[in-house]
Structure 1
Amino acid sequence: MCEAAEKDLYAVLGASSSDSVQQLKRRYQQLALQYHPDRLGGEGSSEAEYGVEKFLEVDAAWRILSDQNTRTQYDLQRRARELKQDWPVDSTVYLRDMTWDQDECVYTYSCRCGGGFSVSEEEVEEETQRRQQDDEEEEEHRGVVVCCDTCSLSVYVTWSLHTTSQMLKCQ
């Protein structure tokens, strides 16, 4: 459960912590069907690979959140992490799940208020380089807090150090 504790399992399922087990199960079933490797077999290898990764992530989240004991333990750990943060963060968003805007060279993500979050390719590069210079090699994931352009919500945008170079597109 240590690895899963880094991710917001509710966000993985597209749910909230107030959802019932039945609501979580419904969301899990929808995502499992969408990303199941058997359904993605005929598509391109990168899409199929992403689908398998997403399917495994959804399945791991469901295993923890479907059991009352592990869900309670996860909720307590999640709350403890939130209390230690210096900023209010609504959720975690993965860079690979954001929409790429080729014209502006930014990644965007829609906010529930109708506004949006955006992070530039430059910000991603700078944060990755800063962390490398600070000799934080043990951290596999990088991230920044991004505020909505319309409301007061903010999200933590994170990415894997190993996939950053593959994702940067404006060079």
Structure 2
Amino acid sequence: MAFERINQKDWYKILGAKPSDSPAELKRKYQKLALLDALHCIARDILYHPDKQEADVAAGEAEERVQRFIEIDQAWKILGNEQTKKEYDLQQREDNLTKEWPLHEQIYLEDMCWNEDEQLYTLSCRCGGNYSVSKSETKDVSLVCCDTCSLVIEILQ
């Protein structure tokens, strides 16, 4: 499943979870938010499940609850599946790298030099070092660090 990067939501935040949470913990947090035990709901929480809505809830509030439930459900669909969670986590790490490290420039893969002997695409950095990425990595990696300094390039396909 490919995720849209524009306006991507923080699915962990929606579930009140962390990337290090186990699958069982993620499921428990999802169930708590989506289903909420009736006594717990009466005590202090809003019940988000659309089938459990109170009759006297204002239309706007009911719509907000439905939208919140949809977000919770989408978060679970992404984080509850091992493959989509892995893909999402990789994108989150990549996004964090872009924020934390200076992005030197964006380069198209075809603008990099192919080294047949080493089976690597390379590009010289302004510091004198190199950006290097293997052909197999180009499918999974779009950010590459210089081997000498802290600059990063983004490889565009």
Identical aligned residues as a percent: 46
Match of 1:74 in 2: 88
- Return the index of the structure with the highest Cα Rg: 2
1:76/1:17 Cα in 2 relative to 1: closer, same or farther (>3 Å)? same
- Unaligned runs of at least 5 residues, structure 1: 88-171
Which consecutive segments of 4 or more residues in structure 1 shift more than 4 A? none
Q: Secondary structure, in 3 states, of the residue corresponding to 1:85? A: helix
Q: Provide the C-alpha distance between the structure 2 equivalents of 1:63 and 1:49, rounded to a whole number of angstroms.
A: 21
Are 1:13 and 1:31, in contact at CA under 8 Å, matched by a contact in 2?
yes
Match of 1:17 in 2: 19
1:46/1:3 Cα in 2 relative to 1: closer, same or farther (>3 Å)? farther
Kindly provide the amino acid, as one letter, of the partner of residue 77 in structure 1.
Q
Kindly provide the amino acid, as one letter, of the partner of residue 9 in structure 2.
K
Tell me the CA shift for residue 5 of structure 1: 7.1
Match of 1:39 in 2: 52
**TM-score (ref. length: structure 2):** 0.51
Q: Secondary structure, in 3 states, of the residue corresponding to 2:18? A: coil
**TM-score (ref. length: structure 1):** 0.47
Select 1:28's aligned residue among 27, 30, 41.
30
Q: Secondary structure, in 3 states, of the residue corresponding to 2:52? A: coil
Kindly provide the amino acid, as one letter, of the partner of residue 53 in structure 1.
Q
Match of 2:76 in 1: 62
Q: Provide the C-alpha distance between the structure 1 equivalents of 2:81 and 2:30, rounded to a whole number of angstroms.
A: 14
Q: Secondary structure, in 3 states, of the residue corresponding to 1:35? A: coil
Match of 2:153 in 1: none
Tell me the CA shift for residue 47 of structure 1: 1.2
Q: Provide the C-alpha distance between the structure 1 equivalents of 2:5 and 2:67, rounded to a whole number of angstroms.
A: 14
Q: Provide the C-alpha distance between the structure 2 equivalents of 1:36 and 1:52, rounded to a whole number of angstroms.
A: 7
- 1:19-168 correspondence to structure 2 within 5 Å: 19-33=21-35, 34-42=47-55, 43-86=57-100
Q: Deviations over 1:54-95 (max 9, x none)?
A: 0000100100111111100000001101111159xxxxxxxx
- Unaligned runs of at least 5 residues, structure 2: 36-46, 102-157
Q: Provide the C-alpha distance between the structure 1 equivalents of 2:82 and 2:69, rounded to a whole number of angstroms.
A: 22
Kindly provide the amino acid, as one letter, of the partner of residue 50 in structure 1.
E
Are 1:5 and 1:78, in contact at CA under 8 Å, matched by a contact in 2?
no
**Cα RMSD, aligned residues only:** 2.0
Q: Provide the C-alpha distance between the structure 2 equivalents of 1:2 and 1:35, rounded to a whole number of angstroms.
A: 25
Aligned residues: 87
Q: Provide the C-alpha distance between the structure 2 equivalents of 1:25 and 1:37, rounded to a whole number of angstroms.
A: 19
Match of 1:154 in 2: none
